[in-house]
Amino acid sequence: MTKTKNPWQTLKIREVYDNPWIRVTAEDVIKPSGDPGIYGKVSFKNIACAIIPVSDNGDTWLVGQYRYTLDIYSWEVPMGGVSRDADLLDGAKRELKEETGLTAERWERVMDSHISNSITDEIGVVYVAEGLTQGEPDFDDTEDLQIRRLPFRDALQLVMKGDITDVLSVAGLLKLAQLRPELH
């Protein structure tokens, strides 16, 4: 990757909004052209952590939930927010157990991403979890989830048909399909 000097100059940052999940700032800047400008930034307080559980026979799990922000029902890989101060793998383990009841013996970090990097600093990470044991889920009070176990190849087909649209789910499933062609 090419490293270059930041061509933007930040003059002033004003907080516009803050809650437990995000902070929004308005920033006065000097643009790369040298002209004055403004930039708005949404800073996320958590890292988006997605988990693709894979069973010994090649099955995976999806969770379905209604997404308030988009006003749609969405099928996704299990995921949640992990505080930037917390251990990311511990957070992934917590989210997998919470949403599916699964625990895993083996974990592999397969992808890091920047989500909507033109206006946010959101970071997304995808893990693969294997050596699974089924237990009981423990949903958050904001979650009304359906859990679906299916062959990995079927989850991949849902991505290709456009039935899975969450970016971490799409990117993670496609990446895993490339890393492990035997799954599909």
Provide the annotated active-site residues: 143
Q: Are strands 46-53 and 79-83 parallel, antiparallel or unpaired?
A: antiparallel
Tell me 167's DSSP state. Answer: H
Neighbouring C-beta atoms of residue 173, cutoff 10 Å: 26
Burial (CB count <10 Å: 0-12, 13-18, 19+), residue 135: exposed
Q: Could you tell me the strand order of the sheet in which 59-67 lies? A: 72-76, 59-67, 146-151
73: left (phi over 0), alpha (psi -120 to 50) or beta: beta
